[in-house]
Copies of this chain bind each other. A is one copy, B any other.
Amino acid sequence: MTGNANTIGRPRAFDVDKALQKALEVFWEKGYEGTSLPDLTEAMGINKPSLYAAFGNKEQLFLKAIELYENRPCGFFQPALLQPTAYQMAEHLLFGAAISSSDPSNPKGCLMVQGALSCSDSANSVKQMLIEKRRSGELQLQQRLEKAQAEGDLAADADCAALACFLVVQLHGMSIQAASGATAERLQQVAVIALKAFAKAALQQTATADSAN
């Protein structure tokens, strides 16, 4: 899939995956609308026609960048859902976000949040698409919590939707703080506080063994 080994016609002079990686970094840093075509071509080391031939247009390139983002930098999300208990999921989620969004080797914050939080009318489809991705993530979280509830891993009277929203608030709030310059240490302190709240709100009946203070 990656190599363009045995194809007819003149071969590409650049690596599509590496170019996409560069595009991701720029979009992450400047957002969808804040990123210009020259920003992209310069970072990717190609010119505009090559970009359009390889990726379609700016919006489709952004979609592919988002896809890459979900698999790589934001890759802590899906594994967190697979943790054996709701508490461990929350733990992975919160510390994953704290570390990921302040990772010095990447732009600060979360692309799904700052990619197109507010924008002109012409970028509304991108904004809407990010909203839906965020809501989808929240829904997955909620469903994981409901599963935990069915398994007796979460208090029967806990409000899974509210708890999922609470967790997402932490993730997005921490990403804003990271974008404002917060350190990984500070965000981890916040994660510790939030985790106590989660434990208290989620485990009030079952009184699970580990965790909580």
Contact = CB atoms under 8 A, between A and B. Distances in A.
A186 B213 contact: no
B173 A34 contact: no
Interface in A180-213: 180-182, 186-187, 189-190, 193-194, 196-198, 200-201, 204, 213
Copies per complex of this chain = 2
A186 B162 contact: yes
A166 B182 CA distance: 11
Interface string A111-132: 0011101111101000000010
A165 B194 contact: no
Please indicate which of the listed interface residues A114, A118, A171, A213 has the most CB atoms of chain B within 10 Å of its own CB: A118
Interface residues of A, number: 53
Interface stretch (A25-33, A45-53, A78-86): A25-33
Contact of A165 (B166, B182, B204): B182
Contacts of A109: 117-118
Contacts of A114: 117-118
